[in-house]
Amino acid sequence: RKEVEQDPGPFNVPEGATVAFNCTYSNSASQSFFWYRQDCRKEPKLLMSVYSSGNEDGRFTAQLNRASQYISLLIRDSKLSDSATYLCVVNRLGQGFSFIFGKGTRLLVKP
């Protein structure tokens, strides 16, 4: 089982739609969770951290379910500019502290 798994998509949605992505992780000792956004041929950029109580930033809402070991990202009122690949990231404890990335979910928002 991969450490972090995501549906690769693409998710094709019309402008204004609500879309949700899930991500599952295998290491139950993981402590920190994040969503990153990556535009084509660019570096990933932090979208938001995911807290145990869930958190919201404008049109974006992130949730963490430790019991089922998944995190989610909800995007409301999708914009054309939301088109990108969304990467799920968890830390991995053990011999150090390192971040493990999912392969990403591609989102295409169409007019």
Partner 1 sequence: SQTIHQWPATLVQPVGSPLSLECTVEGTSNPNLYWYRQAAGRGLQLLFYSIGIDQISSEVPQNLSASRPQDRQFILSSKKLLLSDSGFYLCAWSPRVPGELFFGEGSRLTVL
Q: Which of 58, 67, 95, 111 binds partner 1 (CB under 8 A)?
A: 95
CB of 77 to partner 1, least distance (A): 25
Q: What is the DSSP letter of 16?
A: T
Q: Is 43 in the site for partner 1 (CB under 8 A)?
A: yes
Q: What is the DSSP letter of 39?
A: -
* Secondary structure in 3-state letters for 6-67: ECCCCEEEECCCCEEEEEEECCCCCCCEEEEEECCCCCCEEEEEECCCCEEECCEEEEEECC
Q: Which of 12, 39, 42, 51 binds partner 1 (CB under 8 A)?
A: 42
Q: Which of 44, 71, 84, 90 binds partner 1 (CB under 8 A)?
A: 44
By CB under 8 A, how many residues form the interface with partner 1?
23
Question: Which span (20-28, 51-59, 68-76, 98-106) binds partner 1, by CB under 8 A?
Answer: 98-106
Structure tokens at 12: 């094709």
Q: Which of 83, 84, 102, 107 binds partner 1 (CB under 8 A)?
A: 102
